Structure 1
Amino acid sequence: MNDLYPSRKETERIIERIDPTVYSDKAVGEYSIDNISRKEYEDNGYVVFPNLFSQDEINEIDYMASNEDLVKNEEFIKEPGNNELRTIFNQHLFSSLFEKISKDARIIDKVKQLLGSDVYIHHSRVNIKPAYKGKSFPWHSDFETWHCEDGLPRCRCLTAWIMLTDNTQFNGPLYLIPGSHKKFVSCKGFTPEDNYKKSLKKQEYGVPSIHAIKELTKNSELVGAYGKAGTLVIHDGNVLHGSPDNISPDSRTNTFFVFNSVENKPVKPFGAPKNRADFLCLKDFKAIEAK
């Protein structure tokens, strides 16, 4: 298959995005995105829906993190340098609550509209930043990784995520570069075998240089995704984002669901020796039915 987004090469380049950001303006269901929010998403690469979920709907992470049997699974990733839990992958497969959320019409109606098709979950994850200890994530495009290491051909994917705790400017929130999704940073460096075993703790490949970040922020200011627990954020698969250390006394935890179009199923990786582990690229392509 022709590689429309070459990356992990000898030199870094910034190229034009080929795929649209919004694939349909037709309403899909009761919770479809309105014209204003759809335009915001198309222009900026993300959109925020404050307080969409109640605390009772999202309160189960403490159980998962403290379950001694669960944390032995490879889906449970620890912080670099200590034993603190950093990420839980595919929480919707371990928790009936998160499975229910992953099919919630308040999310699925919006996602299907933006991607213009039925969708499935490429993977899901919970990112945990413990108070005073949670470490940063460098600037990156998710799609660059999913394209190079999972084989997603096109940027017809996005992440819908919910704040499980308040996200403030102090506790390691997500930062984004509005409009950066319209470009694709072809990153320098060749992917080592089984790169994910290190990158899930500390990402080194697929990370844009400071020169690329400066170029993509010439006409845009950095923004932070702040909000109360229960806030929903949807961001495009290619928007550049990252987050700082959490040096506050308050933990920051978010649950992410990566949705991919059923018309964009993975093929052979475009920039890695072989596919990442199956838990990072799920093979259940059955279309999700909103509930």
Structure 2
Amino acid sequence: MSYTRFAGRVDRYPTRLDEPTDPIPRAEPTVWGNESDGPLHEVDLGSMAANGYLVRPSAVGDNWVCALRDELNRIGAQADPGDPRIIREPSGGSTRSVFQPHLFSDVIAELITLDTVLPVARQLLGSDVYLHQARINLMPGFTGTGFYWHSDFETWHAEDGMPQMRAVSCSISLTDNFPYNGSLMVMPGSHRTFYPCVGATPRNNHSSSLVKQEIGVPSRATLTEAAAHYGIDQVTGPAGTALWFDSNVMHGSGSNITPLPRSNVFLVFNSIENQLVAPFAAESPRPEYLAARVSQPFSTPSLVQ
């Protein structure tokens, strides 16, 4: 494997390049902890390592789902339209995402520290963790647009300066996820390969990429090859289901043209041993609400950032 070295750093995963280049094998493990380190059993850890994702039904109960839905509606009604953390759909109408929802809601802040959430993140990453990013994704009926195929790590590496693939996402569904209302699709096993992307990062790329991502996505030829090799799984399940997925797994979702909304709380945990550095392929880091650069680990609920 050839690495790029610049400014005293080694970039294991060069991306946003001028020309296409070969995929890069993953250098880090997917699961860093052991069965004794948390609530997941060996079969769960093995499934996560092999597929890059893990579904945990009933991660939160109905009382939590109802409370979180109420908070979602309250935040949506009270949100300042000029707040950059509120992302609208491309049409400019309904809300697409709300970043840092734990700062809007004590309920969401408490959710992060539940026994079905925080200990799982610590076990998978084999260390103390901090919240790299948090958001609510809303996909309302009829108008909710999808998220194109991508690896989260590609963006976090290029624009946030995340050095290693030692981060994991937890998506907790607040509505039932059906095959037809925009549920997430993943390419199982794709987390073991990094696909460099072509095209330089525009200045303030996040201002447009959060609405429609065009930079940092693989080519159609690359996606066709990856899908043929790994296949595609669609993740469905009732409200309260938690989907854990690796930072580098290829995933995306279609638009929702049904009357049935799909919303989820999305939490990204990063290891405290994976400190962010200067972006590897951008002029400057993204704002704090997209990528927390204060990496204080959780020790009490009050340390939710």
Q: 8 Å contact 2:56–2:241 — kept in the other structure? A: yes
Match of 1:54 among 57, 61, 67: 61
Which structure 1 segments of 5+ residues have no match? none
Q: CA deviation at 1:73?
A: 1.8
SS at match of 2:289: helix
Match of 1:39 among 34, 39, 46: 46
Q: CA deviation at 1:288?
A: 1.4
Alpha-carbon distance between aligned partners in 1 of 2:265 and 2:300, rounded to the nearest angstrom: 18
Structure 1 segments, 4+ long, off by >6 Å, are: none
Q: CA deviation at 1:12?
A: 2.7
Q: Deviations over 1:58-97 (max 9, x none)?
A: 322111111144x442111000013210000011111101
Match of 1:15 among 7, 20, 24: 24
Q: 8 Å contact 2:183–2:234 — kept in the other structure? A: yes
Q: Which residue of 2 aligns with 1:160?
A: 170
Alpha-carbon distance between aligned partners in 1 of 2:220 and 2:126, rounded to the nearest angstrom: 34
Alpha-carbon distance between aligned partners in 1 of 2:100 and 2:144, rounded to the nearest angstrom: 20
Q: 8 Å contact 2:137–2:264 — kept in the other structure? A: yes
Q: Which residue of 1 aligns with 2:250?
A: 240
* Superposition map of 1:128-147 within 5 A: 128-147=138-157
Q: Which residue of 2 aligns with 1:3?
A: 11
- Tell whether 2:88 aligns with 1:78: yes
Alpha-carbon distance between aligned partners in 1 of 2:159 and 2:42, rounded to the nearest angstrom: 34
Q: 8 Å contact 1:140–1:207 — kept in the other structure? A: yes
Amino acid at match of 2:97: T
Alpha-carbon distance between aligned partners in 1 of 2:178 and 2:267, rounded to the nearest angstrom: 21
Alpha-carbon distance between aligned partners in 2 of 1:241 and 1:277, rounded to the nearest angstrom: 24
Q: 8 Å contact 2:35–2:41 — kept in the other structure? A: no
Amino acid at match of 2:113: K
Q: Deviations over 1:136-167 (max 9, x none)?
A: 11100000000000000001001011001111
Q: CA deviation at 1:219?
A: 3.1
Q: Deviations over 1:44-71 (max 9, x none)?
A: 00000112212321322111111144x4
Alpha-carbon distance between aligned partners in 2 of 1:172 and 1:262, rounded to the nearest angstrom: 33
Alpha-carbon distance between aligned partners in 1 of 2:139 and 2:16, rounded to the nearest angstrom: 29
Distance 1:156 1:68, change over 3 A: closer
Identity of aligned residues (%): 38
Q: 8 Å contact 2:151–2:248 — kept in the other structure? A: yes
Q: 8 Å contact 1:175–1:242 — kept in the other structure? A: yes
Q: CA deviation at 1:217?
A: 2.1
Which structure 2 segments of 5+ residues have no match? 1-8
CA RMSD of aligned residues (A): 1.3
Q: 8 Å contact 2:26–2:193 — kept in the other structure? A: yes
Alpha-carbon distance between aligned partners in 2 of 1:54 and 1:129, rounded to the nearest angstrom: 22
Comparing 5-14 with 145-154, greater Cα deviation is found at: 5-14
Alpha-carbon distance between aligned partners in 1 of 2:300 and 2:29, rounded to the nearest angstrom: 24
Comparing 59-68 with 164-173, greater Cα deviation is found at: 59-68
- Tell whether 2:281 aligns with 1:271: yes
Q: 8 Å contact 2:79–2:86 — kept in the other structure? A: no
Match of 2:237 among 224, 227, 248: 227
SS at match of 1:105: coil
Q: Which residue of 2 aligns with 1:104?
A: 114
Q: CA deviation at 1:260?
A: 0.2
State TM-score, norm by structure 1: 0.96
Q: 8 Å contact 1:47–1:235 — kept in the other structure? A: yes
Q: 8 Å contact 1:109–1:290 — kept in the other structure? A: no
- Tell whether 2:73 aligns with 1:66: no
Amino acid at match of 1:196: H
State TM-score, norm by structure 2: 0.91
* Superposition map of 1:116-265 within 5 A: 116-265=126-275
Q: CA deviation at 1:26?
A: 4.1
Amino acid at match of 2:188: P
Q: CA deviation at 1:286?
A: 1.2
Q: CA deviation at 1:290?
A: 6.8
SS at match of 1:27: helix
Count how many residue pairs are aligned between Structure 1 and Structure 2. Answer: 288
